[in-house]
């Protein structure tokens, strides 16, 4: 009776927690890449150092590559290049662009439509002001950069050489390309089906019509070498170079690696506490109450402290108080052309009621169907476990003992395969729902993926813990699922992409060597750009955060019955740092900088998991024989005590959320001072304007 009640209570509470956090979220949010050229100093005339794209060579430092389809119409190419080169007051981006010359022994199958994009230094500085870039001023505070006050900022000397990082320059160029808009054109020249209207983003239209293949930033050889050496090429017990990562890849990537590092260090106390607990109480599975209580306090505190750590990093990097850019419609968004009252422009409009019908009549039933299939697979797993156990009972040998772990290993592999297949289905459904904004698309995709992954990975553990009540089987299943998933993730995320990229690189190097042009194993710029163009595209931190979310679940939910879970996750995270760093530098294209101020929706996801952990651990405590001895007369009293204690700690958790400020006090003071100075400057400006107006009247 108690087990059934606890199981129902845990399931209902978990469902309510997910629903609650999802509702709050939607209310709030509505290869080796061995580089063979030097980018040179980003200053003055942006001259290239020792590079040649063709016989004449480019007159600027290439920062970004734009690749069109190989059969793009000449009039389309000319129109786009003119848009990129035109002055801003004429509707252009005022950037520098040249076509990449043919590669070594150019073949017909090579795409000739690759273009290198750069900018003058003054254009980059004005772009920094346009995007609202925050930089450190001479008084030590972070302020929005303006060209008028550029000499009031730290590290701005002379013409400002080196003031902007290469990642910031590339982000500025990407922003300027994204803001290219149609004026009087009704369609893309050469493609009558690619309709345009005044104010429509040209780049987004070209992407949606598959005329534009990709836009990606180039690597910097020397800077990448320095970063690689300090990041992962030396095995050392030290912190990651987060400032260098941010300088090269941007704030979004740096925050992910910062969270990975923080999560790893936060696991150390639990790992140190778990090792002696494992050694002395391993055979007594009922003695997990103390570890469960420690688990509850741990998962409650670390997330609150991470908010403060995240705020400190974001302030230091200038993204904490940075205004969020106005979101444009996604490239894949479609609808009937109408008037947008916010922008005052004509753009596609799609009725929200149609989107809601697609979500609730198609997407939701599909997700529920997938959860049912996952449940069926789980029951097959338990049948396999029962069969393996019966074989072991009949003939307890070494090999039949090994057989006991086979069902869990097979189930772990099936879970990973189902997660992968479901991910593709979720992306297709979310795309079909036709969300207007990228943030809305990401929110719905994250919600779909999290719900399924949570159920798929943890349903069997909940069933074993609260229905079967077999702590030995729970420990065995948790260990097998955790270890197998870590091995598979490392293989899929690092080894496989690296192997594929190595094959592509060897083909490129062999092609160049045949023509006796490769010297000192360095590729010419044209070949290097084409090599980067063929590299896999980095799809963002979604999968990385999802992996950490599931690991956090394994540790916070059931590690009290398997104390070594934290140790395994620490070891996994250490290898994850090196493998993720390696694939960022040598497997994927360089991503554009993402000026993130926090880890976004994943903060809510981790907090939801911590709430579920409170419920789960208290339910496990209630089922413990140690606790049952105090309530031997009445199971009702035990249930009431467990629920009351769980509610008490839950209340304490939310009180702690309010007691611990998300932003440290000294940063709050600096932000308040900056706001005060901005208001004072605005008052002085208005007073000056009023004074000048009175003089004109007199």
pLDDT for 10 equals 44
Distance CA(65)–CA(218), nearest Å, equals 7
Which residue reads 């002379």 in tokens?
A: 158
State the pLDDT at residue 92: 87
- Which pLDDT does position 43 carry in this prediction? 36
User: What is the C-alpha to C-alpha distance for residues 574 and 563, in angstroms, rounded to an integer?
Assistant: 18
* The predicted structure's pLDDT at residue 614: 86
Q: How many helices (H) and strands (E) does the chain have?
A: 23, 10
Residue 404 has a pLDDT of 79
pLDDT of residue 628: 76
Domain chopping of the chain, boundaries? 65-218, 241-333+467-514+538-663, 668-697
| pTM score, whole prediction | 0.83
Q: Give me the sign of the Cα torsion angle 570, 244, 599, 676.
A: positive
Spell out the residues 6+ positions from residue 95 whose beta carbon is closer than 8 angstroms to its own. 84, 85, 117, 118, 119, 123, 173, 176, 177
Element (H, E) at 348: strand 346-349
Phi/psi for 476 (5° steps) reads: -65, -45
Angle at CA 322, nearest 5°, toward 683 and 588? 160
Joined together, the tokens standing for residue 602 give 């994943």
Residue 478 CA neighbour count, 13 Å, CB half:
30
pLDDT, position 160: 66
- Output the pLDDT for position 44: 35
CB 83 within 8 A of CB 550: no
Q: What Rg do the C-alpha atoms of the chain give, in angstroms?
A: 29
Cα–Cα distances in Å, from 522 out to 36, 38, 91, 593?
Answer: 5, 12, 40, 27
Q: Which residue has the tokens 């300088």?
A: 247
* pLDDT at residue 472, rounded to an integer: 81
Residues in the chain with pLDDT values less than 70: 1-59, 102-108, 160, 235-237, 281-288, 325-326, 343, 494-523, 698
346, β-bridge pairs = 339
Sign of dihedral through CA atoms 531, 536, 537, 541? negative
H helix runs in 317-358, sequence order: 352-358
Three-class DSSP labels, 448-490: HHHHHHHHHHHHHHHHHHHHHCCHHHHHHHHHHHHHHHHHHHH
CB atoms within 10 A of CB 323: 9
SS3 call for 80: helix
Question: What is the C-alpha separation between 443 and 430, in angstroms, rounded?
Answer: 10
Longest dimension (CA), the chain: 108
Q: CB–CB of 547/488 below 8 Å?
A: no
List residues bridging with 64 in a β-sheet: 117, 217
What pLDDT is stored for residue 51 in this prediction?
35
Beta pairing partners, 642: none
Q: For residues 331 and 413, what is the distance between their CA atoms, to the nearest angstrom?
A: 35
Which phi and psi angles does 135 have, rounded to 5°? -130, 160
């Amino acid at each position: 009776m108690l087990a059934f009640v606890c199981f129902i209570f845990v399931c209902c509470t978990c469902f309510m927690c997910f629903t609650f956090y999802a509702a709050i979220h939607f209310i709030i949010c509505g290869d080796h890449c061995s580089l063979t050229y030097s980018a040179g100093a980003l200053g003055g005339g942006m001259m290239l150092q020792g590079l040649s794209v063709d016989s004449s060579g480019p007159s600027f430092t290439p920062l970004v590559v734009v690749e069109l389809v190989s059969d793009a119409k000449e009039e389309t190419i000319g129109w786009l290049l003119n848009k990129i080169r035109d002055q801003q007051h004429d509707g252009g981006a005022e950037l520098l662009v040249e076509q990449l010359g043919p590669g070594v022994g150019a073949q017909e199958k090579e795409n000739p439509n690759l273009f290198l994009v750069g900018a003058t230094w003054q254009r980059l500085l004005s772009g920094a002001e346009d995007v609202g870039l925050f930089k450190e001023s001479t008084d030590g505070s972070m302020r929005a950069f303006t060209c008028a006050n550029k000499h009031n900022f730290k590290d701005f000397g002379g013409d400002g050489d080196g003031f902007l990082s290469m990642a910031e320059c590339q982000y500025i160029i990407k922003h300027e390309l994204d803001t290219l808009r149609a004026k009087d054109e009704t369609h893309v020249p050469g493609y009558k089906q690619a309709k345009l209207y005044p104010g429509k983003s040209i780049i987004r239209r070209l992407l949606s019509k598959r005329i534009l293949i990709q836009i990606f930033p180039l690597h910097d050889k020397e800077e990448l070498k320095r970063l690689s050496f300090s990041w992962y090429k030396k095995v050392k017990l030290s912190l990651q170079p987060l400032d260098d990562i941010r300088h090269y890849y941007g704030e979004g990537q740096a925050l992910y690696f910062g969270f990975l590092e923080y999560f790893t260090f936060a696991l150390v106390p639990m790992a140190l506490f778990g090792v002696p607990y494992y050694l002395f109480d391993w055979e007594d599975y009922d003695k997990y109450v103390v570890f469960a209580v420690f688990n509850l306090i741990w998962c409650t505190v670390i997330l609150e402290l991470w908010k403060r750590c995240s705020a400190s990093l974001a302030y230091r990097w200038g993204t904490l108080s940075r205004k969020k850019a106005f979101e444009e419609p996604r490239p894949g968004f479609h609808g009937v052309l109408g008037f947008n009252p916010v922008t005052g422009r004509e753009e596609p409009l799609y009725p929200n009621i149609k989107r809601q019908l697609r979500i609730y009549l198609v997407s939701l039933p599909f997700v529920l169907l997938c959860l049912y299939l996952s449940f069926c697979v789980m029951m097959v797993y338990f049948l396999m476990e029962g069969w393996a156990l019966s074989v072991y009972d009949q003939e307890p040998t070494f090999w039949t003992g090994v057989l006991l772990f086979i069902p869990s290993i097979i189930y772990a592999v099936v879970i990973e395969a189902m997660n992968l297949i479901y991910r593709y289905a979720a992306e297709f459904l979310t795309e079909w729902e036709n969300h207007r904004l990228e943030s809305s698309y990401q929110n719905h995709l994250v919600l779909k993926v999290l719900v399924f992954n949570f159920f798929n990975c943890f349903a069997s553990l909940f069933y074993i813990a609260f229905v079967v009540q077999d702590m030995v089987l729970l420990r065995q299943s948790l260990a097998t699922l955790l270890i197998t998933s870590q091995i598979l993730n490392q293989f899929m995320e690092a080894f496989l992409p690296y192997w594929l990229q190595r094959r592509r690189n060897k083909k490129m190097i062999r092609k160049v060597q045949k023509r006796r042009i490769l010297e000192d194993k360095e590729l010419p710029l044209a070949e290097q750009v084409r090599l980067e163009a063929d590299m896999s595209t980095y799809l963002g931190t979604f999968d990385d955060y999802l992996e950490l979310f599931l690991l956090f679940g394994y540790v916070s939910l059931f590690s009290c019955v398997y104390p070594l879970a934290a140790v395994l996750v620490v070891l996994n995270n250490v290898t994850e740092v090196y493998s993720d760093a390696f694939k960022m530098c040598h497997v994927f294209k360089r991503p554009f900088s993402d000026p993130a101020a926090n880890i976004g929706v994943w903060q809510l996801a981790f907090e939801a998991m911590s709430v579920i952990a409170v419920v789960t651990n208290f339910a496990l405590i209630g089922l413990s024989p140690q606790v049952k001895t105090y309530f031997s007369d009445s199971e009702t009293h035990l249930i009431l005590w467990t629920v009351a204690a769980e509610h008490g700690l839950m209340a304490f958790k939310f009180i702690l959320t309010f007691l611990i400020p998300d932003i440290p006090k000294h940063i709050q003071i600096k932000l308040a001072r900056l706001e005060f100075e901005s208001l004072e400057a605005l008052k002085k400006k208005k007073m000056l304007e009023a004074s000048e107006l009175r003089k004109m009247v007199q």
